[in-house]
Amino acid sequence: MSGRKFNFNPGPAVLPLSALEQAQKDLIDFAGTGIGILESSHRAKEFDAVFQETKARMAKLMKLPADRKILFFGGGANLQFAMLPMNLLPKGSSADYVNTGVWAGNALKNAKLIGDARSLLDTKGEDGVYRRVPSASEIKVTPGAAYLHLCSNNTIFGTQYHEWPDTGDVPLVVDMSSDILCRELDWSRFDLVYAGAQKNLGPAGVTIVIISQRLLERCADGLPMMLSYKQFVAKDSLGNTPPCFPIYMVNLVLKWVEEQGGVAAVEKVNRKKAAALYDLFDAQPDFFRGTAEKGSRSLMNVTFRLPSEELEKKLISEATAAGFVGLKGHRDVGGLRASLYNAMSLEGVEKLVEFMKGFAKKS
């Protein structure tokens, strides 16, 4: 489609063109009903078919264990920061949190408002910057902890877990908002995963929660319906009107992943995209300085600096004019960031790399 730019925004972020084109059609007439998807009742059989298909497609693509329940919430990951301890941190128990950046830290802050949540490990550097995630061997869970919470990918600092700790009987809970479905995982390792859709799964407005049966059985009773995992499972996420359009879009994105050959095929492309930028950094370290330690480099969010802030502003300006949008780093850390979510094409990244090479040569 002419006029489309290469979208490197950190979220809301790039979506597959095929999904956008299908949505464009369904905004007017959804499934032959004569009304648009935005107008459809969540009780209509046509939407229910999409709803059930979305769950089935997600379970198949991720190869989820049979006992996992897929739930759809509003409120983003921020709501899950509070829901987790409300449901899973009873009085007299404690929960372990590993702080690797802003969102992991916010999850811990919220949990402390509700129960005994403890910072098991914090990877902040002396300069206040998070440049790494801990190795699996560094994470020693507290025996009997209610759960261990990690944030798998840190959008602001460009770091990502590439191995998972052995938590024994302690349930592993992971915020995968910015890297869900970017690579194949052994989903039996995780008891609860949550992810805002607006980075790798769809538009803003829906958060996916995947919870195991054993953890569901530990959830507190007596919570308000909108804050209870148990009640959401019992009502199949339909206790109130769900975020229908975002769920519909998630299904289209999942369908696109299928068409690429599944998660393994998408991961292969993701690794090529990330390597194209990191190889440039390693080849020209005096000009492009990656901010994450090599062992913690993210596949999804590539963060870097130039020799001066003036050059950074100039690159962002010229890149935007050339059709590469969203490269400005987070306001808390500055610099630059290229977000390489699944729907960003390898072609887009390769063209960005060529642009950056040319910029460095003339600067």
pLDDT of residue 1: 46
pLDDT tens per residue across all 363 residues of the chain:
468 999 999 999 999 999 999 999 999 999 999 999 999 999 999 999 999 999 999 999 999 999 999 999 999 999 999 999 999 999 999 999 999 999 999 999 999 999 999 999 999 999 889 999 999 999 999 999 999 999 999 999 999 999 999 999 999 999 999 999 999 999 999 999 999 999 999 999 999 999 999 999 999 999 999 999 999 999 999 999 999 999 999 999 999 999 999 999 999 999 999 999 999 999 999 999 999 999 999 999 999 999 999 999 999 999 999 999 999 999 989 999 999 999 999 999 999 999 999 999 998
SS3 content of the chain, % helix, strand, coil (to 5): 40, 15, 45
* Cβ contact 199:15 at 8 Å: no
Each residue's pLDDT tens digit, 169-182: 999 999 999 999 99
Return the active site residues: 103, 175, 199
d(C-alpha 304, C-alpha 127), whole Å: 16
Closest-CA residue to 178 (of 164, 157, 192): 157
**Residue 248 burial class via C-beta count within 10 angstroms: exposed 0-12, middle 13-18, buried 19 and up:** buried
> Given this model, what pLDDT does residue 3 score?
83
pLDDT digits (tens, 9 = 90+) for 217-246: 999 999 999 999 999 999 999 999 999 999
Distance, in Å, from the CA atom of 66 to the CA atom of 126, rounded to the nearest integer, reads 44
Amino acid at the residue 206: V
Tokens of 242: 């769900």
Q: What pLDDT is stored for residue 2 in this prediction?
A: 60
Which structure tokens are listed for 358? 């040319």
